[in-house]
A and B are shown apart, each in its own frame.
Chain A
Amino acid sequence: MRESRFVSMTLVAPALFLVAGLFLWPLGKSLIGAFVIEPDGEVASRIGIDNFIKAFSLYGQDVLYTVGIVTVATLLVGLISVGIGGYITLCGRPVMVAALKWLYRWPLFIPFVVVGQMMRTFLAKNGFMNNSFEAIGLIDGLTASGYLDWRGIIIAFVWKQTAFAALLVSGAMAALDRSTIEAGRDLGASPWRILGEIIVPQIKTTLMVSLILSFVTMLSVLSVPMMIGTGTPTMMTVDMAWRINGYSDYGVANALGFISMAMAGTVAWIYLKQAVKEGGQN
């Protein structure tokens, strides 16, 4: 048995080694580096929170902007993916359901950098979106404005990330025992009530996991904020790239990285706490 375990570990070791060397080590370096003040001329490097003070004084507004954008985008992803899943589960019109299933997956494999480029043209002042609105008389083309700011970033994030969340959410909904849904229908509950009170509570774990992964993904995207909504304020990933490429300032970049890790960690922690609490009640 001991020999067998040794063989098993040997088979897994190279893969683990790759993650340790090329992710965990630089991750640790980044977390520690946030507290290291780099040597400056005669002064040796030391430990402190100077990087955080500098990060907040330079980019405090960007930190809030990032939290705002990613939170709003995550909430929208949640709402729309539940809507898509609910429609697929409850609609009962096979043609419509098939059409929606075919449509919503398209953004799944489209990389963020391509989404950024598409939205740069789609959301521009003279882009396809404003042209469509003008064609149906919603806006006047000459006074129209573009959406290449925080709204554009949110639209790009939601457009791309909803596909992933909807895939998991509708999968979980499809696996549900349909008898509770039928019971709700027999009692005359509206589709909205069935979705909100019967379906969503049962798939809450899947929904939360997909939203946390979406939150972290959107927090890490560099291309979209660089391509849409340039100028100030901007998102933290852009600031980090700028600290490195413009100043080789690893301290402040790592401090910003630490802050984004803390954000992701907070979201995951809130979820775990909630899950443990509910697990205890059951």
Chain B
Amino acid sequence: MRLSIKNLPHILLIALFAWVIFGPLLNMLIWAFTESWFFPAKLPTVWGFKYWERVFRPQAGAIDSLLTSVHIAAWTVVVSLMVAIPAGYALARRSLPVRTLIMLTFLIPQAFPSVAVFINIGRIFYDIGLNGTIFGVVMVHSVQGLVYAVWISTAAFSAVDRDLELAARDLGSSPLLSFRTVSLPIAAPGIMASAIFVFLNSLDEFTGTFFVGVPDITTLPLMMYTASMEGNYQIASITALFLLIPSVGFMLVVERFLKSNVVSKIGV
């Protein structure tokens, strides 16, 4: 493609779009490396890593929040996959009454305005002593992640060639053995993708943790929110950067995990 008058409007349009997408990201990046910045300066007057050191000082709590977040996200993946793998296999392979209804049930937590629900989960958890516990937050995150876990594992099992399973059965393996040695390994990349979706969803989750975890559980998004509201833009931006890296990284490689034969079966 050459630079010509005819292409100029297109180049300008894409450039404008790039500014819209990257402008806010760039602004955040600038704040992450700002040491001092006062109006009316257009850019920070002092750049540096001063605040990075402050964020990672043990008493700042950032490391604790990061560990809490990762801990919660890892358990959320375990809980979600433990229930989603059998469900996904059954939905993909076995005859089930009201199958569509069951599939839609997993979408419900994403398709309803959720704040009122979180408030009432908080109340129930308070009564049974689960408020402000890691377990409580993990359970809330698992329900939110189930739609990815179940839908993607269903699609992954649907994409497994049925003849391979039948061949294993013909050779005398039990249903469980053919599941463990044939279906599960073939579906593994799709299940891996769903695990990453669930992990990131939990890592980024804010509203549920706000109502169920606070003040005892501080995850990275909650720490970022607090820093931002206190006007610590450097701390907030550095924390935000840490939330962004895994998400954007995954976005760039997602196609490697989710092959099109699996994608086309999601939600079906």
Contacts and interface: CB of A to CB of B under 8 A. Distances in A.
Contacts of B39: 125-126
A93 B13 CA distance: 13
A163 to B, nearest CB: 9
Interface string B79-108: 100111011011100111100001001101
B24 A227 contact: no
A254 B120 contact: yes
A159 to B, nearest CB: 7
Contacts of A260: 113, 115-116
B146 A26 contact: no
Interface in A1-57: 4-5, 7-9, 11-12, 14-16, 18-19, 22-27, 29-30, 33
A266 to B, nearest CB: 12
A15 B150 contact: yes
B123 interface: yes
B19 A220 contact: no
Given A11-B89, A22-B139, A23-B143, A16 B105 contact: yes
Given A15-B87, A114-B224, A118-B27, A29 B124 contact: yes
Chain B CB within 10 Å — which of A25, A104, A113, A264 has the most? A113
Interface stretch (A177-185, A197-205, A237-245, A271-279): A237-245
B14 A99 contact: yes
B90 A8 contact: yes
A118 B91 contact: no
Interface majority SS on B: helix, strand, loop or mixed? helix
Interface in A82-96: 91, 93-96
Interface stretch (A71-79, A128-136, A186-194): A128-136
What is the interface residue range for chain B against chain A?
A: 35 or more
Contacts of A256: 116
Nearest to B31: A121
Contact of B211 (A24, A100, A244): A244
21 contacts: A5-B97, A7-B94, A11-B94, A15-B84, A18-B146, A22-B143, A24-B108, A27-B112, A27-B120, A93-B10, A111-B221, A113-B224, A118-B28, A121-B233, A135-B42, A159-B21, A216-B113, A250-B119, A250-B123, A260-B113, A263-B113
Interface of A: 4-5, 7-9, 11-12, 14-16, 18-19, 22-27, 29-30, 33, 91, 93-96, 99-100, 103-122, 125-129, 131-132, 135, 141-142, 159, 213, 216-217, 219-223, 226-227, 237, 240-241, 244, 250, 253-254, 256-258, 260-261, 263-264
